Amino acid sequence: MNNLVIMPIIIPLLAGLILILFSKNIGFQRFFSASAILASGYVAVILLQQIKGKGIQVLQAGGWEAPFGISIVADMFSALLLLSASIVAFFCLMYAFKSIGRERENHYFYPFYLFLITGVNGSFLTGDLFNLFVCFEVMLISSYVLLSLGGTRIQLRESIKYVLINVLSSSLFLIAVAYLYAMLGTLNFAHLSLRVADAGQDGLLTTVALLFLIVFGMKAALFLFFWLPGSYSAPPTAIAAIFAALLTKVGIYALFRTFTLVFYHEPQITHFIIGILGALTMILGAIGAIAYWEIKKILTYNVIVGVGFIMAGLASSTHYGMMGSIYYLIHDILIKALIILLGGTIIYIMGTSKLKEISGLIRNHPFLGWMFFIAALSLAGIPPLSGFLGKVFITRGTFESEYYWLGGIGLFTSLMVLYSIMKIFMNVFWGETNVSKEMEKGTAKGLVLPIAGLTGLTITLGIGAEGIAESVRIAADGLLNPSLYIEAVIGESQFGSK
Amino acid sequence: METVISILIGLFFSIGTYLVLSKSLIRIILGTSIISHGVNLLILTMGGLKRGGAPLLGGIETKFTDSLPQALILTAIVINFAVTALFLVLSYRTYKTLGTDDTDRLRGNVDE
């Protein structure tokens, strides 16, 4: 038992509740929300060290033993994601300070932001299927409000679609939970995994597994991504960035959890289908990224390509594939927030999202331009930067499991991603400067700071990849050996220790 | 008993799906509501519909119905209630601002 495990859920939740009381005191709201996110990031660091030293950390909520109560579990995979989520949440919050506007700040922006983080952290930490559903809903309801907050025409229109698609996928989630409960009689991940291993994964269970694939695929924008480009281009930049960085990643996390812990017995069916869906996602996302001449659309389609690529690692289910996926997932959380923030800043400065109306921005904004260049290279996976190692490992994993086509498509779409992002760079930053500094619609002053922070992180993560190599290896081991997780959750209560 | 309820749930789902695919916003919201009713019934059915006392200790029964699905449904109902309320207000605001409840006319416009 370790009470620290639940802190990343409790801290933002309590902070959000307190901030509801102080809706008019903006200074306090800013300070308090930033410190709450920093505190949960700090807890994630401590958890990382504890997991490294003592193995998976578990909290049986209320002292009820594992299958009967709700278990909160922090293994290396979730701790790494927690830490990267907190870092990105902090930088997006800093960006929001400068850009979100007094109107939204007065209407409970910060509490909802913290509730969103609560839902995300809860989804990463929970060890129970229905609790995962509840955490999803906490996250989703906050995201509905953040998406529609402000009430402009485009936001209202897109929130209708976003809410509808998520209400339906939540219904599907509940259906899948009901079927699974009928077949296995439990909802605890570790216990589910034990029961599936005992009884064998028959056709019915594989069907339920595919239903989960559809549910989480909808959330993660894996093939069922048709809601994403519209929804993610509607809200203000800071909110779009945190959505792109975290919301789809929670779906990805849930896919990893279910398909490595519970439904890992029929990989030739489930993982093969994940591979096909991943390949289709990469291709369709890359086509979308190339097709548009609009910054927002190109960047949101790039979010989709990343999802497909991470899934390729899961589909391979080899050690290298898993390690690559974890590296790439951490990188993807950082880089998606970074490029959306960069794109949003360009749109804010120029007052338009159309590539053909912008040119020669590098003369007035050299710093922004070179950071965009670094982010673009990192996104495509150029060696010294953070996207490289993940791509190498995922490609190696797919080749090892003889999914050559999958690795090939991954490499090919990397080229298309590089083309799409360089299209932005060359059109926006090169060429004749058509807008002088005085004619610009906004100023990048203050917005550059969080962007510089994230750029620094993507460079550090690329050069210093060795620093987290040990943690990533432990996380990949944990994903490939479900027995470690089960022992930590169930074993503890069976031997009655503490 | 389970078979009959399953057919009923299937009916709920088909009606809900049909409504969600229609054009008017209010019909879509009604459709999601009906689907959630189907889901709640499904959870109850999947927990088993064996005879037994209500899960209250202190009665004379010795066998009880499964209490876990009931707790799950209660949670799901509350969540769904909140989301439906939000959805209704959102569609009201959309109707006020955009002046239409026809989903065909909620596409992207050139003026935005």
Instruction: Note the pLDDT tens digit of each residue in A225-242.
Output: 999 998 998 999 999 999
Chain-chain contact of B46 with A134 (C-beta, under 8 angstroms) = no
C-alpha distance from A179 to closest chain B C-alpha (Å): 6
Identify the weakest region by mean pLDDT among A374-378, A462-466, B57-61. B57-61
Asked if the C-beta of B64 comes within 8 angstroms of chain A's C-beta atoms, the answer is: no
A vs B: CB pairs below 8 A: 89
The beta-carbon contacts of A489-492 under 8 Å, at least 24 apart in sequence, are A489/A56, A489/A58, A489/A66, A489/A71, A489/A73, A489/A127, A489/A188, A489/A189, A489/A190, A489/A191, A490/A66, A490/A67, A490/A188, A490/A190, A490/A191, A490/A194, A492/A1, A492/A58, A492/A60, A492/A66
CA dist., res. A1 & res. A409, Å (int): 44
A156-160, A358-362, A482-486, A490-494: which has the minimum mean pLDDT?
A: A490-494
Predicted confidence at residue A435, as pLDDT, reads 73
Mapping DSSP onto H, E and C, the string for A44-61 reads HHHHHHHHHHHCCEEEEH
The predicted structure's pLDDT at residue A62: 87
**CA separation for the pair A94, A90 (Å, rounded):** 6
Of A144, A164, A187, the CB nearest to B32: A164
| Contact criterion met (CB < 8 Å) for A156 and B86 | no
Query: What average pLDDT score do residues A326-335 get?
Result: 95
Find the CB nearest A178 among B32, B46, B93: B46
Contact: A160, B94; criterion CB under 8 Å: yes
Residues of A in contact with B45 (CB under 8 A): 178
How far, CA to CA in Å, does A305 sit from each of A98, A217, A278, A312, A336? Answer: 30, 13, 9, 11, 11
Whether the per-residue pLDDT at A498 is higher than 60: the answer is: no
Residue of A nearest to B48 (CA): A182
- A209 vs A435: which has the higher pLDDT: A209
Q: Which residues in chain B have their CB less than 8 angstroms from residue A178's CB?
A: 39, 42-43, 45-47, 69
Q: Quote the mean pLDDT of chain B.
A: 90
- Own/partner pairs, A454-458, CB within 8 angstroms, 24+ separation: A454/A88, A454/A91, A454/A334, A454/A337, A454/A338, A454/A341, A455/A338, A455/A371, A455/A374, A455/A375, A457/A87, A457/A334, A458/A331, A458/A334, A458/A335, A458/A338, A458/A374, A458/A375, A458/A378, A458/A385, A458/A386
Number of C-alpha atoms within 13 angstroms, CB side, residue A242?
A: 33
pLDDT score for B11: 97
B70 touches chain A (CB under 8 A): no
Worst-scoring range by mean pLDDT, A2-16, A41-55, A313-327, B91-105? B91-105
| B101–chain A nearest CA distance, Å | 10
A230, B25: Cβ pair inside 8 Å? no
- Residue A71 bridge partners (DSSP): A60
pLDDT digits (tens, 9 = 90+) for A90-116: 999 999 999 988 889 999 999 999 999
pLDDT of amino acid A195: 92
Q: Does the CA dihedral A64-A66-A68-A71 come out positive or negative?
A: positive
Q: What is the pLDDT of residue A76?
A: 94
**Closest CA of chain B from A173, distance in Å:** 10
Question: Which tokens in the block code for residue A429?
Answer: 């930053």
User: What is the C-alpha end-to-end distance of chain A, expressed in Å?
Assistant: 7
Answer whether B20 sits within 8 Å of A164, measured CB to CB.
yes
Within an 8 Å CB–CB cutoff, is residue A155 touching chain B? no
Residue of A nearest to B102 (CA): A157
Contact between B83 and A137 using a beta-carbon 8 Å cutoff: yes
Residue A365 phi/psi, 5-degree rounding, is: -135, 65
Contact A159 B35 (CB under 8 A): no
Give the closest-approach CA distance of A415 to chain B in angstroms: 30
Contacts of A168 in chain B (CB under 8 A): 20, 32, 35
pLDDT band at A497 (very low <50, low <70, confident <90, very high): very low
Tens of pLDDT, residue by residue over A138-186, are: 999 999 999 999 989 999 999 999 999 999 999 999 999 999 999 999 9
Per-residue model confidence (pLDDT) at position A496: 45
- Look at residue A322 and tell me whether its pLDDT is greater than 60: yes
Which chain A residue has the Cα nearest residue B44? A178
Per-residue pLDDT at B109 exceeds 90: no
List, for residues A261-285, the tens digit of each pLDDT value: 999 998 899 999 999 999 999 999 9
Q: Is A461 exposed, middle or buried (0-12, 13-18, 19+ CB in 10 A)?
A: buried
* CB distance A152 to A27 below 8 Å: no
Q: Taking each helix axis from N to C terminus, what angle separates A109-125 and A26-54, rounded to the nearest 10 degrees?
A: 10
pLDDT of residue A494: 58
What pLDDT shows up at residue A492?
Answer: 64
A465-480 vs A448-463: helix crossing angle, rounded to 10: 70
Cross-chain Cβ contact A141/B82 below 8 Å: yes
Closest to A154 (Cβ–Cβ): which among B43, B93, B112? B112
Whole-angstrom distance, CA of residue A468 vs CA of residue A456: 16
Helix (H, G, I), strand (E, B) or coil at A188: strand
Q: Extract the tokens encoding B2.
A: 């389970």
CB contact (8 A) between residue B75 and residue A134: yes
Residue where the block lists tokens 């979308």? A288
Which of A289, A283, A261, A320 minimizes the C-alpha distance to A478? A261
Contact A160 B20 (CB under 8 A): no
**Structure-token match 């299927």, residue found:** A129
Neighbour count for residue A113 (Cβ, 10 Å): 28
Shortest CB distance from A151 goes to which of B35, B39, B93?
Answer: B93
User: Residue A363 pLDDT > 60, yes or no?
Assistant: yes
Residue A57 near residue A74 (C-beta atoms within 8 A): yes
Which of A243, A442, A422 is CA-nearest to residue A345?
A: A442
Distance CA A125, CA A61 (A): 12
Which of A133, A147, A170 is the best residue to mutate to test the B interface, defined by the most B CB atoms within 10 Å of its own CB? A170
Q: Which of B20, B106, B108 lies nearest to residue A160, judging by beta carbons? A: B106
- Out of A141, A151, A175, name the one closest to residue B86 (CB): A141
Question: What is the band of B60 on the pLDDT scale with cuts at 50, 70, 90?
Answer: confident
Tokens at A338, concatenated: 């970074």
Q: Could you give the percent of chain A with pLDDT greater than 90?
A: 79
Q: Of A277, A272, A299, nearest to A223 (Cα)?
A: A277
Nearest Cβ partner for B39 among A157, A161, A175: A175
Cα–Cα distance between A136 and A123 in angstroms, integer? 6
Distance (Å, whole) CA A390 – CA A380: 11
A185 vs B: CB within 8 A: no
> Within 10 A of A278 (CB to CB), how many other CB atoms are there?
29
Q: Which residue in A260, A22, A227, A18 sits closest to A140, CA to CA? A: A227
> pLDDT tens digits, residue range B28-41?
999 999 999 999 99
**What interhelical angle do A387-400 and A319-350 show, nearest 10?**
140
- Residues of B whose CB is below 8 A from A230: 108
Option in B83, B103, B108 nearest A141 (CB): B83
A227 CB near a chain B CB, below 8 Å?
Answer: no
> Could you tell me which of A303, A147, A144, A326 has the C-alpha nearest to residue A220?
A303
